[in-house]
Structure 1
Amino acid sequence: MKKNHGCLFVLLFTLLLYTVESEMYHSDVVVMQELRNMMNYSSDLGWSGEDPCKWVHIYCDEDQIKDIRLGNLNIYGTLPQSLNNLQSLQILELQGNHLSGNLLSLSGLRPLKKMSVKGNRFSSIPGNFFDGLSSLKSIILDDNPFAPWGIPDSLKCASKLVFLFRQFSKYSKTSPEEYSLYE
C-alpha cells in the first residue's frame, strides 16, 4: 500500500512540475508576441509562427527565452511593459535600431547579464530600471536622447557590473562617489 502512495506522489509531483514549466513557457510566448506586435521592421525578421524559440535572433534553452539579439536590424517601435516577465532572459541586444519611448524597468530580470540599447531613440530611464539586476555585467546606453539622469542607488548594488557605457546619453553625476564608481 505504501508503495502505491509513493508512485502516486511522484506522478502528482511530475504533473505539477510540468504545469509550472508549461505556464512559464506560455508567459514567454505571450511576451514575445507582444514584442513582435509592437515593432515595425523593414525586412523580414523571420518571426513567423507562434513559437518564439523558432524565430531568428531569439535563443532559447528548455523552451525559455535566454537571448534576444535584435541589434542593427532597422527596427522601429516601442518595448512592451511585459518584457521584464522573461524570467530567464540573459542577453538583450537592441542596439542600432530606431526604438523609442521610455526604457522600461527591468526589475525582476535577475539572470540578465548583458544589455545594449546603444543608438536608439529612448527618452528616459525609470528610477527602478536596475532594481534586482544582480547578475548584470554589462549595460550599454550610449547615443540615446535620454532626459538627464544619474546613477540610481539600485545600480550601485549590482556587484557583478563590469561595463556601464553612457556616452552621449545625458548622464549627469549627482555625487562625488559616482566618479570613482563608474569612471
Structure 2
Amino acid sequence: MKQAFFVLIVFMLSGPLVRANVSSQEKKVLIDLYTSTKGAQWKVTWDLNTPVSKWYGVRVENGKIVSLNLFNNNLQGILPTSLGNLPFLEELNLAFNTLHGQIPETITKLRKLKVLRLGKNKLEGEIPEDIGNLDRLAIMDMFDNGLSGNLPASIGKMKDLKMLYLSYNSFSGKIPMELGNLESLERLELADNEIEGEVPNGMAELLNLKAMTLAENNLSGSFPELIFSMPKLQLLQMQNNNFEDVTATGIRQGHTQLALLDIDEEADRYKINDFKDLFIHSATGTADTKFEDDSN
C-alpha cells in the first residue's frame, strides 16, 4: 500500500511537468515565424489548432521549446525579431530556404543555442556584432547568403565552436585575430568573400582544426608558415588570393598531416595522403572530409 502511495505521489509531481504546455510567449514566437515566412506555403505546414509539440520540426521538452528544425521547408520571408524569445532553444535550423532580410539582433539572446544553421538562404546585412554571446554554440552555418560587413570579433568568444561556415557571402575587412581563440574549432570555411589583409599568425594556434578554406578572397601578405604543419589539419584551400609568397617549406620536408593543399601554382598542389576520405561537397563547392557534420 505504501509503495502504491509513493508511485501516486511521484506521478502527481512529475505528471504536470511532462504534460506542461508551451508558454504563450514561446508559442507566439512560432506563430510570428509562421506568419512572416508564409507558413501556409511550407512543404510541411503547421496545424495551429493542435498542440505545439505536434508541429513539424518543433521539439518540446518539459514544456520548453528546445529545437526548431525547418530545414529545406520552403520558408519565404524574414525572420521575426521575436525569435530571441525562445530562451531554452538549443537548435535552430532554417537552412536551405528562401529567407531574406537581416539576421535579427535578438538572436544573440538565445544563450543556450548549440546549433545555428541559416545557410543557403538570401539573408543580407551584417552578422550581429554580439553574436559571440552565443558562447555554447558548436555549429554556426551561414554559408551562401548575401551577408556583408566585417566578421564580428566577438566570434572569438565561442570556445565550444567546432564548425564555422561563412563561405559564399560578401564579407569584407580582415580576419579577426580573435578567431585564433577558437580552441575547439575543427572546420573554418571563409571562401568566396571579399576578406582582405593578412591571415593572423594566431590561426596556427587552432590545434584541433582539420579543414580551412580561404580561397577566392583578397587576402595578402605572407601566409603563416606554421599553419602548414598544424597537427590535425588535413585540408587547406587558399587559391585565388594575393599572397606574396607561399613557400610551404614544412610540406616539402614532410612536416604535415595535410591530405589536400590547394594554392595558386600547380606545382604547389600536393597529394600527400590518399583521398579516400575526401570529396567535393555539391552544396558548398569545397572539399569535404568524413569529419564533416552531416546531421542533415
State the TM-score, normalized to the length of structure 2. Answer: 0.50
Matches within 5 A, 1:33-112: 33-40=31-38, 41-49=41-49, 51-105=51-105, 106-112=107-113
Q: 1:126 to 1:140 in 2, by over 3 A?
A: closer
For 1:140 and 1:127, how far apart are their aligned partners in 2? 14
The reply to whether residue 30 of structure 1 matches residue 28 of structure 2 is yes
CA RMSD of aligned residues (A): 2.4
Q: 1:175 to 1:39 in 2, by over 3 A?
A: closer
Aligned residues: 163
**Bigger share in helix:** 1
Q: 1:176 to 1:80 in 2, by over 3 A?
A: closer
Indicate if the aligned counterparts of 2:126 and 2:150 stay in contact, CA closer than 8 A.
no
For 2:82 and 2:89, how far apart are their aligned partners in 1? 13
User: SS where residue 149 of structure 1 aligns?
Assistant: strand
For 1:108 and 1:85, how far apart are their aligned partners in 2? 8
Indicate if the aligned counterparts of 2:119 and 2:145 stay in contact, CA closer than 8 A.
yes
For 1:159 and 1:73, how far apart are their aligned partners in 2? 31
Report % sequence identity: 23
| Alignment gaps of 5+ in structure 2 | 1-12, 180-198, 213-296
User: SS where residue 23 of structure 2 aligns?
Assistant: helix
For 1:166 and 1:30, how far apart are their aligned partners in 2? 30
Counterpart position of 1:11: none
For 1:124 and 1:86, how far apart are their aligned partners in 2? 23
State the TM-score, normalized to the length of structure 1. Answer: 0.79
Indicate if the aligned counterparts of 1:140 and 1:166 stay in contact, CA closer than 8 A.
yes
| Alignment gaps of 5+ in structure 1 | 1-13
Q: 1:70 to 1:42 in 2, by over 3 A?
A: closer
User: SS where residue 133 of structure 2 aligns?
Assistant: coil
